[in-house]
Amino acid sequence: MSTRLATVGDCVAVLERAYPPAWAQPWDAVGLAVGDPEAPVCAVLFAVDPTVEVAVEAAGGAQLLVTHHPLFLRGTHGVAETGPGGRVVASLIRAGVALYTAHTNADVADPGVSDALAAAIGLRRVGPLDQDQDPAQAQDPAQAGSTATPPAGDAAVPAPTVCRGLGRIGELPEPEPLDRFCARVARALPATAGGVRATGAADQLVRRVAVCGGSGGELAGAARAAGADVLVTADGRHHHVLDAVGEHPIAIVDVAHWASEWPWLAQAAARLEAGLRTRGRTVSASVSAIVTDPWRLHVPSR
């Protein structure tokens, strides 16, 4: 099949099928933030955060930057290059790079952010964790235009996306002690200064594992109710974690927010490439290796 050059609009159409904007939280800011839908795209860069460094990388050869976190979440009155947001917008526009964000809509999508985290850790029999989804989130995906029945046996067509809420739960192939499990998590994710830390005892056994990419500490109760031995998430706060382990016999495994969402980038890049192929379009998608975790130095206390 001959392929034609994709446009920003073609990429947006595929991404919105994988991550319907209707599934985003009301406070979120997803979608196309910078760029012309008619502009041609050869190369797409995926990153967690639209930082100035990431924008510079994108300007070096991509025509579309796809990020998980929005550039602007609150009202913005200007994009002067006196602040990082304005510098990002200016760098992207000068280089002809569009910016697209899939955030909380990618969190609840299956496959989505937490599915990628579960797969990176090596979990099996992965299913939804949050059974009490916001009804707005649990709308029929067909109405949001996210599902399509692929022709049987066509491996080039990505499986349809469904909305499964925040977090996933799955199982390890074999139970293992918490310290070995933490080492598994550390190997599965890109290196960060803070590494992996956990509540609980080093020798307590882990079999059922709940995960939530990003800040998922509030899911500790749901994770325990679903029979999880641990919850892997990020941004653990002192009082929340103390309350969570006091109320529920569950260990919290805390990783860097950026690292917990990074595995999604490759998954989303593959879905974009596959979705465009079915439309006779082709792009080269890659994942940024820039570490946007802001914590850079970690000295263990004695």
Nearer to Zn ion, 7 or 267 (CB): 267
Instruction: Report in angstroms how near the CB of residue 245 gets to Zn ion at its nearest.
Output: 23
CA–chain centroid gap for 252, Å, is 20
Q: Tell which one of 70, 214, 217, 263 touches Zn ion (CB under 5 A).
A: 214
The H-assigned helical ranges of 130-252 are: 178-188, 220-225, 238-247
Q: Does 236 engage in binding with Zn ion (CB under 5 A)?
A: no
Nearer to Zn ion, 139 or 215 (CB): 215
Instruction: Report in angstroms how near the CB of residue 160 gets to Zn ion at its nearest.
Output: 24
Instruction: Report in angstroms how near the CB of residue 18 gets to Zn ion at its nearest.
Output: 17
Nearer to Zn ion, 85 or 96 (CB): 85
Q: Please tell me what DSSP assigns to residue 105.
A: H
- Does residue 45 come out as left (phi exceeding 0), alpha (psi in the -120 to 50 range) or beta? beta
The residue with its CB nearest to Zn ion is: 214
∠ Cα 234 236 242 (to 5°): 150
Instruction: Report in angstroms how near the CB of residue 228 gets to Zn ion at its nearest.
Output: 21
Nearer to Zn ion, 166 or 269 (CB): 166
Nearer to Zn ion, 31 or 214 (CB): 214
CA–chain centroid gap for 159, Å, is 18
- Sole window of 34-42, 146-154, 194-202, 212-220 interacting with Zn ion (rule: CB under 5 A): 212-220
Q: How many residues line the site for Zn ion (CB under 5 A)? A: 1
- Sole window of 31-39, 148-156, 210-218, 243-251 interacting with Zn ion (rule: CB under 5 A): 210-218
Distance CA 112, CA 122 (A): 15
Provide the binding-site residues for Zn ion, judged by CB under 5 A: 214
